[in-house]
Structure 1
């Protein structure tokens, strides 16, 4: 009886090992990471009480966005000062996000810096960084006022509202 029990347990263990191996073999070797959203456009507009800057992004995980009021704008990677029209400056970062594709080609066809002639507070916008999954944008503004930064999805966007 003990021999039959040992054989049964041995057979059960062998079957279990074979099934586990089959399950592991059937699992994919690696799961592709979700694509980082890439910037395709920058839009600006004047609204009642605030100027709005919108970064248009492709599909992918919605980035987290934040801002800092800074004395000067610094280029990511190089650490050099980014000269931009404005009395005060707002540095905005979005992560994960980029302005290039996997091959390094730019996905944003517009200028890296431009003036915003029709807005009341935002004077200029610059792409200040596209480095290691973080997209950085700088705004030059006339006056230091309240800033709100948030993200929207379907499609992905980073929205920057600057009070007048």
Structure 2
């Protein structure tokens, strides 16, 4: 199992890059919330910093490897993601939202990965009801930050840390 950790500021408006650390204590990537321009950042304040939502993961040379953006059109909410390394697009949608129990699902050319989102404890990424990854953010009040952990199982069809970190940040940490 591959394990990663990182610490996020307690303030969701923060845009500084945060290092992602592997189990050996080595920095492997950075994650940051980004805005395409100052106007969007300013306007986002009126929407509790949850409307203009984009996260980007970069490698150690600070080249983008994965980006996810929240989209809202005609009352529908979804996330669009792109892997620069694999040149692959992903769509993250809410399934079954009309019956009151929405589930997050990642659609890609390799199939569907469901996300069992938990407010407390571990959120799970599932393929055919098998857990392939886990993500958890725990707020530490004394430090005013979130300690985040990610575990990727060897059975996961996707092993890239940037995929799981970006999607978790947008869909699980900030959310809708």
TM-score by length of 2: 0.26
Q: Which has the higher strand share?
A: 2
Q: Which has the larger radius of gyration?
A: 1
